[in-house]
Amino acid sequence: MSKLFRAVIMGPPGSGKGTISERIAHSFGLKHLSSGDFVRENISAKTEAGVLAKTYIKKGLLVPDHVMTRLLLPRLEEMTKCSWLLDGFPRTLAQAEALNSACDLDVAINLNIPLETLKERLRHRWIHPSSGRVYNMCFNPPRVQGIDDITGEPLIQQEDDRPEALVARLRHYKDVAKPVIDFYKAKGILYTYSDTETDQIWPNISTLLSTKIPTIQSDARCASTH
């Protein structure tokens, strides 16, 4: 059996993490794990950590480190036969250290996208709240404007995606992410990519992963964890 491969992808809101994660999962057979999906699943299932997370989200607050680690680490520890890419976690140094104590990462991908590009992307971003599906009115619009393709429910634009809130949100991301980036740089597994277009970044990430993942992983080995 080929060696398992574990990676994280980091980047500010609007950096294209979700799109690139899906491409990596499709091209290399990794399981794409979204922290947002984990949170929604736990809230839906009314787990103890999910109920706790919901109290913060309803107040418009970030879910704190100790709750996020309780949501994610047990699931990751179950995935003993699965290669994965984690998107949206860790966001803070405390989360990175908790993840480091639970498993060994092979690669940390960091997307460094210019501020003006992020502002432009987020201006056109609409979300289906209950599933987390993201649409961009310029390059990934819904079939019917303002309506989710799958459920037919209305889409919303998040308050903090609006221009007046955006600069503060991105500045906060940068402050919190810097220690995480430094942590992975010190471990020698950080790879940073900068461009205004996801399609320009993707070939470089694909080339990197081709050298890091010797064989295509089998998705079947992940089936029992879902």
| Residue positions forming the annotated binding site for a ribonucleoside 5'-triphosphate | 14-19, 125, 134-135, 198
Helices and strands in the chain: count of H runs, count of E runs:
8, 7
Q: Which residues contact 32 (CB under 8 A, 6 or more apart)?
A: 21, 22, 24, 25, 84, 85, 87
Exposed, middle or buried: residue 67 (CB in 10 Å: 0-12, 13-18, 19+)? buried
Q: Are 126 and 74 in contact (CB under 8 A)?
A: no
In the beta sheet, which residues pair with residue 109? 9, 191
DSSP string, 164-202: HHHHHHHHHHHHHHHHHHHHHHHHT-EEEE--S-HHHHH
Q: Tell me the binding residues for AMP.
A: 35, 40, 61-63, 88-91, 95, 169
Reported as type and span, the H/E element at residue 135 is: strand 133-136
